[in-house]
Amino acid sequence: MNRRLAFLFLVTACVALVPFRAPAPLVYTAGEGWTYEPVGGEGKWRRTRAKDQMDVAQAAFDKRDYGVALKAARHLVKTWPLSDYAPRAQYLVGRCYEAKHNDEKAFKQYQKILEQYPKSENVKEVLQRQYEIAGRFLEGQWFKLGGYIPWFPSMEKTAEMFDKIVKNGPYSDVAPQAQLRIGAAREKQSHYPEAVKAYESAADRYHDRPQIAADAIFRAGVAYQKQAKTADYDQSMAGQAIAQFTDFVTLYPDDRRVPEAQKIMTSLKVEQARGNFETAKYYEKRRKWNGALVYYNEVVLRDPNSPLATEARKRIDAIKQHTLTARK
């Protein structure tokens, strides 16, 4: 605490000792925050009627004077929240923040339109803009600390954005892709179970849209495959991946990704066979014959034409011969 007080005192002293002339006074307005106003121009963007205030905000926005447009639009929303011009003003607030490259604030302002003015004529465009903003964060754009300082990328926040878009309009034009992108964000976090859940939701909800459903099932298979490869090879996840890819190939045989899905399934089955073969060898070394037979048989079932299957058949015959001899 002493260090903070000393630092604050030092900063205050430096500001007091350095003479300067402020080019504009700092003005605080309740509900709108602090803003700079040009000398002699304080409040000149304010009007006494909602329509006139809207005209000021729109004119400033059209001139790319986003500072004035933002202040004028926010003032309208605060002063006349129930007027016919409030939804448009709220929309301009979002547009101004987006133009000023403050995407997180823009997303939140657009969200207010959907929550407070759900019948606004801009709803479709607002959803599209939210989708594009979330897409930029998915591509790695950094979130900002306090809305100004680049801080870090966050797939958690990105997934939450896409989730809001889906909830805002589950059957809107952008919702199906937004649902898929929830899964993509979870994959980037290596949260594969959550990714699979998002993809399966997309396949279920948008089953009547073949392209979306096909993408969802394929990506769920890929997510299961990635999960299977984490740590020790997870046979159950490999089985889930094979099941997803089997559904994909069966339901969408003309999809261009079918050869890729078949290739992945082959590699998964080979890996499953290898895992079962190693397990069988473990039981065989410890003379657990029944266990060894179970897993050698799994190798034959999983990948019957592989070299491992040929070796597994030999081991099965040898174990059976050994057990018959032992009984005699």
pLDDT value at residue 328: 61
pLDDT value at residue 178: 97
Instruction: For 281-295, write each residue's pLDDT tens digit.
Output: 888 888 888 888 888
Nearest to 104 by CA among 79, 83, 129: 129
pLDDT at 16 over 80: no
Number of domains composing the chain: 1
- 252: which DSSP letter? -
- 141: which DSSP letter? P
Domain assignment present for residue 54? The answer is no
Domain assignment present for residue 13? The answer is no
Q: Which residues contact 240 (CB under 8 A, 6 or more apart)?
A: 196, 224, 228
Domain assignment present for residue 107? The answer is no
Name the E strands within the chain.
Answer: 26-29, 33-36, 143-145, 149-152
274-278's contacts with Cβ under 8 Å and 24+ in sequence apart are 274/308, 275/233, 275/235, 276/235, 276/302, 277/308, 277/311, 277/312
In this prediction, residues 65-92 reach a mean pLDDT of: 95
Domain assignment present for residue 246? The answer is no
**Around Cβ 141, how many Cβ atoms within 10 Å?**
18
Domain assignment present for residue 291? The answer is yes
pLDDT at 233 over 80: no
Give the pLDDT band (50/70/90) at residue 43. Answer: low
Domain assignment present for residue 312? The answer is yes
Residue entry with tokens 């909602």: 50
In this prediction, residues 136-145 reach a mean pLDDT of: 90
- The radius of gyration computed from the CA coordinates of the chain, to the nearest angstrom, equals 31
The pTM score is 0.77
Q: Residue 91 and residue 108: Cα distance in Å, rounded? A: 11
Domain assignment present for residue 317? The answer is yes
Give the pLDDT band (50/70/90) at residue 153. Answer: confident
In this prediction, residues 221-232 reach a mean pLDDT of: 82
pLDDT value at residue 34: 45
pLDDT value at residue 4: 45
Contact 182, 162 (CB under 8 A): yes
In this prediction, residues 168-193 reach a mean pLDDT of: 95
**Which domain, by its residues, includes 296?**
272-328
pLDDT value at residue 38: 53
Q: Residue 213 and residue 211: Cα distance in Å, rounded? A: 6
Q: Residue 51 and residue 46: Cα distance in Å, rounded? A: 11
Percent of the chain residues topping a pLDDT of 90? 57
By CB atoms closer than 10 A (0-12, 13-18, 19+), residue 86 is buried
Domain assignment present for residue 218? The answer is no
Nearest to 221 by CA among 189, 192, 178: 192
Please provide the average confidence, as pLDDT, over all residues in the chain: 85
